[in-house]
Structure 1
Amino acid sequence: MSTTTIRIDDELKARLAAVAQQTGKTPHALILETLTDAVERAETDAALHRLADARWAALKRSGESVSWNDAKAYLQSRAAGKAVLKPKARVPAR
């Protein structure tokens, strides 16, 4: 494991120490947990953006989509525990 030095102001250091004490962790453990959470969140966001970009490209390429009303009805039925078929994607009428 390597060492990284960060500079934080005294106020943030005091807040960090207080939160660490409240949660029963060392400041070091709290910093590692916080950094891990931030990195994982950034990676998840990046993956979501890549997926959205790919789906947007597919939509533009095919022109097919599911209407909001069909998607909403499907999701409401699924949330209610009903077994329903997925709505079919189609090119919207202009």
Structure 2
Amino acid sequence: MSTTTIRLPDELKARVAKAAEAAGTTSHNFILEAIAEKAELAERRADFHALAEQRYAQFLDTGESIAWEDARTWLKERLAGKRVKRPAARKRAR
């Protein structure tokens, strides 16, 4: 395990200490968890954007999409607990 030094403003250091105490942990562990959460968030955001780019490229390539009304109906029925067939993508008239 490597060591990294960070300089915290006194106000932030006090806030971290107070939050760590309330969470029942040390300031060190609180900071480690915060960094891990932030890194995971950044990774998830990057994955989301990569998937969006992939799907957009597929849309541009095929011209197929699912109409909002079809998707909305499908989502509502799924939320209601119904087993419904996923709507099919198809080319739309312009």
Task: Name the count of aligned residue pairs.
Answer: 94
Flag structure 1 segments of 5+ consecutive residues without an equivalent.
Answer: none
Could you give the per-residue CA deviations for residues 48-89 of structure 1, whole angstroms, max 9, x where no partner exists? 000000000000110000000000001111111112111111
**CA-atom RMSD, angstroms?**
0.6
Flag structure 2 segments of 5+ consecutive residues without an equivalent.
Answer: none
Larger strand proportion of the pair: 2
Match in the other structure for 2:78: 78
Match in the other structure for 2:13: 13
Match in the other structure for 2:62: 62
Identity %: 50
Match in the other structure for 1:33: 33
Supply the distance in 1 between the matched residues of 2:29 and 2:88 (Cα, whole angstroms).
49
Structure 1 stretches of 4+ moved >2 Å: none
Alpha-carbon deviation of 1:37?
0.3
Structure 2 length as normaliser, TM-score?
0.97
